[in-house]
Amino acid sequence: MGVSIICTVLYALLNGASVYLTIPLLETLFNSGTESISIEKKSDNANDSIIIPPELNEQITSFTEDIKNYIFSGDQSEVLLKICLLIFIAFLGKNIFAYFQAFFLAFVEQGVIKDLRDAAYKHLHKLPMSYFKGEKTGNLISRIVNDVYVVQTSVSTVFLNLVREPLTIIVFLGIAFSISWRLTLFSFAVLPFSLFFISWIGLILRKQSTILQEKMADLTTILHETISGVKIVKAFGMENYENKKFINQTNKLRKTVLKMVRIRNAAAPITEFLSVVVGVAIIYYGGHLVLQEGTLKASEFLGFLFAIFSIMPPVKELSSVNNKIQESSAAADRIFEILETEPKIRNIQNAVSIDTFNSKISFMNIFFHYDDSDELILNDINFEVNKGQIIALVGSSGAGKSTLVDLIPRFYDPTGGQILFDGIDSREIKIEDLRKLMGIVTQEIVLFNESVINNIAYGFTDYPEEKIIAAAKAANAHDFILELPHGYETIIGERGTKLSGGQRQRISIARALLKNPPIMIFDEATSALDNESELLVQEAIERLMKERTTFVIAHRLSTIRNANRILVMDQGRIIQDGDHQTLIQEKNGLYKKLYEMQFN
Ligand code: ADP
């Protein structure tokens, strides 16, 4: 940034010099009839000192005198050559510095954008589960992709113009002042009303930009929903409906963009027209000074015009900078909304480090409701689990089983009560340590777009292959993996080889086996498995549960029979607690009813 600013200063000075050099050039050409060129002191120099301090004024004057003396020594053709050479050098230097300035700015820009994207992404991982439930996936993706892109496209323009254009303006303004302060002041008396117009346009554009980015996010959301729900869309024959929804959105998007483009396109010609109005007024007044008053030389007046018209493009650029800033700050707002969302679930100061689970987990007076409603999902839950026990959670859908299980790895914190691991409140334990103790296998099996081996060893880079293969064998996955086109190196997941539901589940079980955590959380899925697959999965699950403390949301009879303890949940409460034999004998108990419904 520093290097770039230095280049910019040099650029602006040389840019000024290239215009300033037109004055001696014109003087040489206009005076071509006379033998020697006289150096006159400018007539309104005395007046200049009102604005510039006297000592500085003297220095500037003697400096310009020196330059003039140098240029005008010698005969005319020599003078012409010198001026041309100086113009050549000024333009060469100006362009070289313009390049390097842009070069270094691009470096800064790309760095800023990368940091912003990384920060937003990293922050996503810190946000609690509830944030993801509340935000639409497409919306989040859109912010990190589209909004960051909007910021990116404007960052360089903004950086470039905020440094370069003001400097250029200052240099040309200096030149204009040194030629005639009266004419300069006159010129700038006419400018403010065009500035007012410029900022007004900026305001409108910013509003439109926010709307645009929201529409973009809606579009991404529809796209995401359609792609991930393609099966349902097809099965229900909803293609036309989805098409209409999408077309409706793109239509809104088109209208918004058109509106923005129209405003932006109108801004440029109107600004230019206003500039010309200003320009005509200046020419009239300047001409008066030359012709009637005679206080200004014709060559100086032309030099002045060059300088003042060189100010116009940067002023125009600055107007677009304003628009760009308005657009990108709307996008930036949306990114910072992510960055500024406080992670609710995080480590407290002096969080306790643990690396083993020794004796028991206690749920003490647990109450829970989700952020968006006051309805109690868990209502006074109390129980203790000893190390090595298998706890099956049973109950009708919506009873709160998944919610209860989500509290264990702190996906959510209870709104009342505590969960103690070996007597330590889970909120006092380092989250990383806590989650290291657990393996989770859910119904929605997530496989990443990587090789089988990397999917099994997810999160570990240094696992020996034998161990991975052993885990795959224990999960009954080894045989089918070997049959894949590239064995363990086959890419699976979204864009890779397709696996059946049972195969996917066995890979996720292998993943959990490899991690070998002392606590297992299991949301059993029975759906979509054929008989053979079910048996293989069943075996794998039983191996996974062995010698571990296991929480299972149970759907299988065998799991329920194997469990040391069954908790029957209804409307957020535990209403029955015991093993299969005990519970089945409780007449009119919910367990007996559920059992009969499901398995008899
Ligand atoms: P189960 O696993 O027993 O089927 P859940 O724990 O999934 O039950 O759900 C219990 C209740 O909590 C349900 O009424 C459900 O609507 C509600 N619920 C689940 N997740 C959320 C959420 N993210 N926000 C608000 N309510 C939720």
- Tens digits of residue pLDDT in 436-478: 899 888 877 778 888 888 888 887 777 788 889 988 888 888 9
Shared domain check, 462 and 325 = no
Report which of 47, 43, 48 is spatially closest to residue 295, judged by C-alpha positions. 43
Dihedral sign, Cα of residue 434, residue 436, residue 437, residue 440:
positive
Q: Which residue is closest in CA terms to ligand 1's atom 27?
A: 370
Our count of domains for the chain comes to 2
First to last CA, the chain: 75
Q: 50-68, pLDDT tens digit by residue?
A: 455 667 667 766 776 777 7
Pairwise CA distance, residues 322 & 203, whole Å:
9
CA of 383 to the centre of ligand 1 (A): 20
Q: What is the mean pLDDT of residues 471-487?
A: 89
State if residue 403 touches ligand 1 by the CB under 6 angstroms criterion. Answer: yes
Q: Which residue is closest in CA terms to ligand 1's atom 6?
A: 400
Distance, CA of 465 to chain centre? 37
Decide if 495 is inside a domain. yes
Q: Which residues pair with 574 in a beta bridge?
A: 569
Decide if 365 is inside a domain. no
Rg (CA), the chain: 38
Average pLDDT, the chain: 82
CA of 398 to the centre of ligand 1 (A): 6
**301 three-class SS:** helix
State if residue 402 touches ligand 1 by the CB under 6 angstroms criterion. Answer: yes
Q: Which atom of ligand 1 is nearest to the CA of 133?
A: 23
Which amino acid is it at 115?
Answer: D
Q: Which atom of ligand 1 is nearest to the CA of 134?
A: 23
Decide if 554 is inside a domain. no
State if residue 439 touches ligand 1 by the CB under 6 angstroms criterion. Answer: no
Q: 403-417, pLDDT tens digit by residue?
A: 999 999 999 999 999
Assess contact for 474 and 467: CB atoms under 8 A: no
Is residue 521 over pLDDT 60? Answer: yes
Which amino acid is it at 16?
Answer: G
CA of 384 to the centre of ligand 1 (A): 23
State if residue 128 touches ligand 1 by the CB under 6 angstroms criterion. Answer: no
Which of 339, 371, 405 terminates a domain? The answer is: 339
Pairwise CA distance, residues 396 & 552, whole Å:
14
Report which of 126, 574, 572, 576 is spatially closest to residue 374, judged by C-alpha positions. 572
Report which of 83, 87, 63, 64 is spatially closest to residue 74, judged by C-alpha positions. 83
Q: Give the pairing of strands 424-425 and 416-421.
A: antiparallel
Decide if 502 is inside a domain. yes
Q: Which residue is closest in CA terms to ligand 1's atom 25?
A: 370
In 289-400, which ranges are continuous DSSP H helix? Answer: 298-339
Decide if 580 is inside a domain. no
| 513 CB neighbour count, 10 Å cutoff | 25
State if residue 133 touches ligand 1 by the CB under 6 angstroms criterion. Answer: yes
In the chain, what are the helix, strand and coil shares in percent, each to the nearest 5? 65, 10, 25
Q: What is the mean pLDDT of residues 215-224?
A: 86
Shared domain check, 234 and 98 = yes
Which of 339, 354, 372 terminates a domain? The answer is: 339
pLDDT, position 192: 64
Q: Which residue is closest in CA terms to ligand 1's atom 5?
A: 400
- Containing domain of residue 184, as a range? 2-33+51-339
Assess contact for 39 and 71: CB atoms under 8 A: no
Is residue 39 over pLDDT 70? Answer: no
pLDDT, position 382: 93
Residue bearing the bigger pLDDT, 344 or 497 = 344
CA of 400 to the centre of ligand 1 (A): 6
Q: How confident is the model at residue 43 (pLDDT cuts 50, 70, 90)?
A: very low
Which amino acid is it at 53?
Answer: P
CA of 235 to the centre of ligand 1 (A): 26
CA of 417 to the centre of ligand 1 (A): 19
Which of 311, 339, 367 terminates a domain? The answer is: 339
Pairwise CA distance, residues 381 & 279, whole Å:
80
Decide if 349 is inside a domain. no
Decide if 423 is inside a domain. no
Pairwise CA distance, residues 169 & 157, whole Å:
17
Helices and strands in the chain, H and E counts: 23, 10
Say which CATH number the domain at 70 has.
1.20.1560.10
State if residue 395 touches ligand 1 by the CB under 6 angstroms criterion. Answer: yes
Residues 6 or more apart whose CB falls under 8 angstroms from that of 223 comprise 138, 246
Q: Which atom of ligand 1 is nearest to the CA of 393?
A: 3
State if residue 134 touches ligand 1 by the CB under 6 angstroms criterion. Answer: no
Pairwise CA distance, residues 153 & 157, whole Å:
7
Length of the chain: 600
Q: How confident is the model at residue 530 (pLDDT cuts 50, 70, 90)?
A: low
CA of 363 to the centre of ligand 1 (A): 19
Q: 224-267, pLDDT tens digit by residue?
A: 888 888 888 888 888 888 899 899 999 999 998 898 888 888 87
Assess contact for 518 and 356: CB atoms under 8 A: yes
Q: What is the mean pLDDT of residues 149-176?
A: 81
CA of 388 to the centre of ligand 1 (A): 28
Decide if 393 is inside a domain. no
pLDDT, position 596: 81
Q: Which residue is closest in CA terms to ligand 1's atom 22?
A: 370
Pairwise CA distance, residues 154 & 326, whole Å:
10
Assess contact for 531 and 499: CB atoms under 8 A: no
State if residue 397 touches ligand 1 by the CB under 6 angstroms criterion. Answer: yes
The CA distances from residue 11 to 18, 100, 169, 219, in Å, are 10, 10, 12, 44
Q: Which residue is closest in CA terms to ligand 1's atom 26?
A: 370
State if residue 401 touches ligand 1 by the CB under 6 angstroms criterion. Answer: yes
Instruction: Tell me the backbone φ, ψ of residue 519, rounded to 5 degrees.
Output: -120, 135
Pairwise CA distance, residues 216 & 383, whole Å:
48
Q: What region, left, alpha or beta, does residue 141 occupy, with left being phi > 0 and alpha being psi -120 to 50 degrees?
A: alpha
